Amino acid sequence: MACKLTDSPCPYILTCFAGAKVGLVSTDRGFNPGALITLAKAVDLEENVGASVGRPVVGFFEGVGELSLLFSRALAAIVMGRISLGEMLRQMSIIGVSSLPIVLITICFSGMVLALNTVSQFHKLGGDQFIGGLVAVAMARELAPVLASVVVAARVGSAIAAELGWMKVPEQIDALRALAVSPIHYLVVPRLLAAVFMMPVVTVFANVAGILGGWAVATYFTHISSQIFITSIQTFLTWKDVIDGLLKTLIFGAIIALVGCDRGLQTSGGAAGVGRSTTSAVVLAIVLVYVSDYFLSAVMFAPPGLGS
């Protein structure tokens, strides 16, 4: 195979790439085949890197689209009143009550760490009167809603994906369809409503646990007066902070339930497929929680003049 410099550019380059890979490029006019081989390898590497980076991005947006479709179908079922009350109550117990211990432990120690780092800096600057308010506002706005949702996503989102995945693999979900029972009505809607209803309740307890953890560190380890800590909370924490944080958890709960149900309903490939669905449910739910948290925070808490 020979390629001439007088050939048109694109066919010439493509021919040289092909020839360089098999070592058949002509060396007429001092052309260096080694350079072309290096260039061809670089092009292959760039294509592989682009594919490895692009696939997760495309998969992420495909997942968001699938979740939107699933949410629209679930919303239509809710509007039509097709709700299994008994299953919803059972899921509320699993998502809310059973998740409380691990959520409280996680948020309590998060509040303790926040207070520990805050006290060490503010105490040097004579800002003890700001510590309680900072801990409480951070908990109400961000830490309690987000961290509680992450914990629930790891515990409940994976459980939902695994449960529905094990139903999908042996074709139990197809059996439901054969019996004229919609999987959306029977499986998705109860879990969606349970997560939406229980996440604000869990977050209320998480707020209390986080503030108590911060108070314990501030008063017992750094000897700040309890009165100063409580007065600071009363000064800086508003009901808007608390309510806006709880409103976030409505969205987070819906995300966790929808992602778990979607991954579970799309499971294939036996036990290995269930494992993949469980992992992807946790990862996607946590990513979407953080992404949605930014946009919700920008709407709820951004200063009025920001960006103008």
Mean pLDDT of the chain: 82
Is the pLDDT confidence value at 61 over 80? no
Alpha carbon distance 112, 126 (integer Å): 20
Pick from 59-63, 111-115, 169-173 the range whose average pLDDT is largest. 111-115
Predicted local confidence at residue 4, as pLDDT: 46
Alpha carbon distance 206, 276 (integer Å): 30
- pLDDT tens for 241-264 read 999 999 999 999 999 999 999 998
- Confidence bin at 122 (pLDDT 50/70/90): confident
Burial, 126: exposed, middle or buried (Cβ in 10 Å; 0-12, 13-18, 19+)? exposed
Question: 102, 268, 251, 260: which is closest to 191 by C-alpha?
Answer: 260
Predicted local confidence at residue 166, as pLDDT: 85
- Confidence bin at 6 (pLDDT 50/70/90): very low
- Confidence bin at 1 (pLDDT 50/70/90): very low
The tokens 């036996």 sit on which residue? 270
Burial, 249: exposed, middle or buried (Cβ in 10 Å; 0-12, 13-18, 19+)? buried
